[in-house]
Amino acid sequence: MYIPEHFPAEPKALWSLFHTINQLPRPSRKEDKFREFILKEAETLKLKTHTDEVGNVIVYVPATVGYENHETVIIQNHMDMVTDATPDRNINFAQDPIITFREGDWIKADRTTLGADNGIGCAAALALMYDKTVSHPPLELLFTIDEETGLKGAWGVDANYLKGKKMLNLDTEEWGSLYIGCAGGIDYEFKKTVKMVPAKLKGKSYKLTVGGFLGGHSGVDIHEQRGNAIKFLMDWITSIPADSFELSEWRGGKAHNIIPRDAFALVVLKDAKAAEEVAKKVEGRWRAFMPENDRGFFTKVEEVEAISEVVDAHDLKLLLSFLVAFPHGAHAYDLASNKELVSLSNNLAISLMVRGQFYLQSSLRFFDRGECVGLENQVQALALGFGLEFSKNGEYPSWKPVRENKLLDLVADKYQALFQKKAKVTAIHAGLECGILRDKIGPIDAVSFGPTIMGAHSPQERVHIPSVETFWTLFKEVLKAL
C-alpha cells in the first residue's frame, strides 16, 4: 500500500486508503468512482457485496477465527464529501484529486476541504478488509451516498440486507467524545419573482464583495458566532442611503450545511468612496463582537461593466428587509443536560438575486421537534409577510440520546482502560445518519466516535494525526471485544 511521504507511517492501511480515497472524486451525488473502487477491492478480496437502488454499498466481511458465532456489527460511514475551496483555488471537484500536505500534527488540503469528513471513517472501515491482525465479529460495512446534501443514502437503505443490531458510526469529529445522539433537521427554500426596471441612477456600476470569513459546519460551528457573509452584505447595503444606490444582483453561500464565507452584489452607486466608508464602519462594528479567529474578513469595491437593469425599489426594500430580519445562528441550548450543547439553530445558507429571481435556502437543526415549531413559524411568517413563496425539504429525524446502551458501555470502558480517562458521552448538533438508520433497521445500539477533525465543511478542514492513531487503537479494541 502506498503512503505519501508527508503522511504518518501508521496505521498504514488507514492512511494509505485515505490517500487513495482523496484521488477519487466524491462530491455529493457523484460518488460513482468511490463506489466502483470499493466494489472492485471487495471483489479482489472475494468479499460479498450489495448495492441498493440509490447507490449505497454494503461489504460483508466474515468474522475472524473464533468470532464466527458472535453477533454481526454494522460499521457505517458516508462516501460523499463537502466540496468547498477558497476563491483563488481553481479545482473541479468532479474530477480533480484533493491535494494534501502536513503541517505539524495536522493533515490539511491545499485551499480546499480535505474530505476527512467522512473519508477517515471510510478508510478505517475499508482497512478491516485488508488488515488480518484485527480480530472482529461478522461485519457489515455500510457506505452511504449523499449524506451532506440530503441524507438520501440513509433514507434509501434497505434494512433487509442488514443483520446487525449494533452499529458503530465513524462520522464524529471530536476525539474523546462518544456520541449517542444527533440533531434532526429541515431545509427551507424561499422564492420570489421581482420586478426589474431600467437603471436610472447617475453613477457608475460596481461589485461589492465581502469575503474571508471562516465559514464552517452549520451545525457544530454555529455556536461560535462566526460571520455570515450574506448577513454582512445585507448590513452593508442597508447602511448605504437608499437614494444612493440601485441593485441588480447578489449571490452568497454555497450549501445548506456551510456557514456562508463569501458574498457579492452588483450595484449602481452615486459615490463609491462613500460606500467604502460605510463598509469600514460596518467592519468595525462586526469585529467588535466577532470571535478573534474570524476577524480576518475583507470588503472590496470594484468597478464593473455598466448595469442596465436593477430591482424595482419597492421590491428591493422588501427583500432587503426580509434578509435583515431572517434568523441566523444558535437559538436555544440544552439546559436540561448540557448547557453548552446547541439544541436549536438556523443557518441562512444561500441567497441569490439573479435576473429578477430571488432565492434563499436555510437549514434548521433541532433535538426536539416540538421546540423547532416556533422557529418554523417565525420563518414562515416572515415569508408570508414579505410576499415570498416557501417550501420545506429534506426533513430528517433527530437521534435522541439513550444512555441505557450496552454498546456505549463497552466503548466507554475500553476508552477508559486504554487512555486512563473517561470519554465524554454527549450528543452533537449536526445530522448523523444514525437517527434515520435506527428508524429503518429497528431497535439497535449505536455509538459514534472518530478522530479530531477541525474546520469541517471549509477550506480550513484538517485532521489531527495523533488522534487518528488513538482512534484506530480504540476501534480495534472495541471490535475485538464484540
Alpha carbon distance 376, 355 (integer Å): 29
The SS3 of residue 308 is coil
**Which among 346, 350, 147 has a CA at the least distance from the CA of 255?**
350
3-state secondary structure 67-86: CCCCCCEEEEEECCECCCEC
**Which among 108, 122, 162 has a CA at the least distance from the CA of 31?**
122
Residue 276 a catalytic site member: no
434's grid cell: 444514525
Which is catalytic among the residues 80, 117, 235, 249? 80
Q: Alpha helix locations (H) across 157-222?
A: none
Q: What share of the chain is helix, strand, coil (3-state, %, to 5)?
A: 30, 30, 40
The SS3 of residue 225 is coil
Alpha carbon distance 153, 433 (integer Å): 9
149's grid cell: 446534501
226's grid cell: 462566526
Rounded to 5 degrees, what angle do the CA atoms 263, 267, 273 make?
95
Residue 371 a catalytic site member: no
Longest dimension (CA), the chain: 83
Alpha carbon distance 242, 310 (integer Å): 13
* Strand partners of residue 342: 333
Q: What burial letters (b/e) apply to 349-372, b meaning 16+ CB within 10 Å?
A: bbbbbeebebebbbbbbbbeeeeb
Which is catalytic among the residues 84, 140, 146, 147? 147
Alpha carbon distance 205, 308 (integer Å): 9
Cβ atoms of residues 162 and 98 within 8 Å = no
Rg, Å, the chain Cα set:
24
Residue 217 gets which letter from DSSP? B
Catalytic residues, by residue number, are 80, 147
